[in-house]
A and B are shown apart, each in its own frame.
Chain A
Amino acid sequence: MKFATRLVQFDPAPQDPYRPMSTPIYQTATFEQLHADSFGPYDYSRSGNPTRRVLEDQLASLENGTRAFCFASGMAAIAAVTHLLEAGDEILADWDLYGGASRLLSKVTSRAGITVRYVDASDLSTLEAHITPATRLLYVESPTNPLLRVLDLAALGVLAKRRGLLFGVDNSTLSPYLQNPLDLGADIVIHSATKFLSGHSDLTGGAIIVKDDALAQKIAFLQNAEGAALGPFDCFLLLRGLKTLKLRLDAQQGNAARVAAFLAQHPKVDTVYYPGLATHAGYSVQQAQARGAGAVISFTVGSSAAALQLAEGFSLFSISVSFGSVHSTVCIPYSMSHASAPAELKAARPVPDDLLRLSIGIEDVDDLLADLEAGLSKL
């Protein structure tokens, strides 16, 4: 089946006698046991819940994995992955990460005696030179947030495998519709489901998808032991949003290509970061490993004052963190999504303070272009 079909043709309610088209919300804490000393498939909603399981099976299928696990947020999913490690272990991460992720690694994970090192994952020889016998996890995003750098996931996968590292990829900026890191050699795919997977800004959620049974068992254990699984109602909303993933992303990506081209030729714009532009350094790798460039675009306008003026002057782009929604948004990563990045990382690899990140929605592109033109012309 093609991707669009897989998004809607799945069993929404396994074994349900009423055969609903929509997955029932099992808003229940616990499940009756048939016998005092044995459990059925579900015993307590922290360990497993039928609504969540339908969602997890669907996400596993869409990412070409064998098992998925949903969490209360993307950060809860990343935190669970870091809990596969132990004191004394090391994480190698690309330096351009979502600010919340680098905050987790530098300010929480490091407290557990785990060393975190940030490297440029586009430079394979430097990356390899940083691997030590204690390194356990290689963790990247591609395209990265907010600079939209494209990392060669297949090459990183080969390196990780050769050196015995777990390879985790945050696929939030593209979604399984556009990229499947497990097929490119990743062991673990992470999503902030808040973004394109949900697409409606109506829930906070995260997911981990794997293809190895032993790894799946470890994550299932952590999901139950730590209790950060996604709630049934949010699972229902996510299942509902997921059905239109392709529809939304086709529209968003089509608009994004127009917006990127418009920005690239605009005299008030310095640099446009979008892997769908032929001038982008990662263009050919993106073409090879993904089925599109997504709907997140960053660009610089020369000064932080100009960036601020532009963001505040828009009428259609809401100033908001998060991305991937049907509604277009604008963010100034320096003071918003990446303000939480650890100081040492900000000092070594500053996010430009005149950078704006757009998440392109499904509005009519002519309205979006007019809003951009009105703002830029006033600079």
Chain B
Amino acid sequence: MSDKSQLPPLNLQSSTLAIHTNRAYETLSNSILFPIHQTATYIHETVGVTKGYGYSRGANPTVNALEQAISALEGTASALCFRSGMAAITTLCMGLLKAGDHVILSDVIYGGTSRLFQQVLGNFAIEYTYVDITNLEAVEQTIRPNTRLLFIETPANPTMKLADIRALANIAHGHDNLLLAVDNTFLTPLLQNCLELGADISMLSTTKYIDGHNATIGGSLATHNEAIVERLRLVRKTLGTIQSPFDAWLTLQGVKTLPARLALHSQHAGVIAAWLEAHPRVHRVNYPGLDSFPQKALAEKQQKAFGGMLSFELNATTEQSLRFIDSLKLCTCAESLGSVETLITNPATASHCDIPSAERARLGISDRLIRLSVGLEDPIDLIADFEQAFAVVFGAAS
């Protein structure tokens, strides 16, 4: 019989890794699932001597099991999990930055990330500048001697604009003490391994594709730099932002189907994007897999698939666009993305509502823009839902 107490080798395919990274540890009962260690504290063997777990704010075996699964997907030796994607970013910034430091942010970025910098970290004298990260020369010119972090998203939420991770990593590494962090939530390391592409830190909102079932709120950070991992571990313990055991366990269950889900999400999104683009009531579709997408070549270069996210505008007013969303029966209007259910939102009133409207317009986030997280329903049913909503808003002739 093979020794099940050892970790499986890491040279397995991602779909195998997603299932097997954490099933071998429980040797007391041989339970196939890792137990939920819903405990606050741990008994010392002798004073000060533990098995590596002293208090669940610092580390917890179930959270660690999830961290091993995520590090296997990221290809790193370790990863850290947090109560939310925002808690991951907060811990990253509180851990690596100090008053007087400067951060460069991509101009199209999740509204919660903007809010953190503008309304929380700004109070602590941490400076930041937004830049169009597709303009590498502008990025280079924005770097100052005190710039410590380049924080980007690609594809960007919600316009799907892409950033060239390798080119940005080369720019960052041409300067002292400048790290590139990538919010890789839209694709996950399975579809875009940003660390392999040269980024220093990969950040995920695990709430999205990693969990995939809208069951938890969570986040993660991974890096090959073990000194940064240890620093962030200390700051996470100090700030108390670690993921909870039960949420870690649920996320771990979700990870197992991640490769299968991502393949279907991508396939369905391709079908929906092509159908929407061909529809006369649709003005424009932003999806990296379409020939009309200006950065399709970059997507093919750095992504393994085009993912399940897209956004589009109708040939219609904002009011009609909102009515279209309200008329959908299968597609659910809700914040968040990356789950088995198709979710649809109007970024201007939801995820990006904190950005002034003139600024939104400049970034391509029009008031009528619709963001779609394509789920695992049969695309035939989703298309029928769109058809009936078009009929409600524009009449049967549409």
Contacts and interface: CB of A to CB of B under 8 A. Distances in A.
Interface of A: 27-39, 43-46, 71-79, 83, 85-88, 100, 103-104, 107-108, 111-114, 194, 198, 201-204, 206, 221-222, 225-231, 233-234, 237, 308, 311-312, 318-322, 325, 329, 332, 335-336
A203 B240 contact: no
User: Which of A72, A312, A318 has the most chain B CB atoms closer than 10 A to its own CB?
Assistant: A72
Contact of B120 (A39, A203, A225): A225
B325 interface: yes
Given A73-B57, A112-B123, A226-B120, 7 more contacts: A31-B334, A36-B344, A72-B87, A73-B242, A83-B120, A112-B94, A201-B41
Interface residues of B, number: 71
Contact of A75 (B94, B238, B321, B322): B238
A35 B334 CA distance: 9
Contacts of A79: 238-241
A30 B344 CA distance: 12
B244 interface: yes
Interface in B60-116: 82-88, 90, 94, 97-100, 112, 115-116
Contacts of A78: 240
Contact of B57 (A30, A34, A75, A86): A75
Interface string B242-258: 11101100100000000
Interface of B: 38-44, 46-48, 54-57, 82-88, 90, 94, 97-100, 112, 115-116, 119-120, 123-126, 207, 211, 214-217, 219, 235, 237-244, 246-247, 250, 321-322, 325-326, 332-336, 339, 343-346, 349-350
B113 to A, nearest CB: 10
Contacts of B43: 318-320
User: Which of A204, A222, A332 has the most chain B CB atoms closer than 10 A to its own CB?
Assistant: A204
Nearest to B241: A228
A227 B93 CA distance: 13
B240 A226 contact: no
Given A225-B112, A225-B116, A319-B44, A44 B335 contact: yes
Contact of A201 (B39, B126, B211, B214): B39
A249 to B, nearest CB: 17
Given A37-B349, A44-B335, A227 B90 contact: yes
A107 B238 contact: yes
A233 B246 CA distance: 7
Contacts of A88: 125
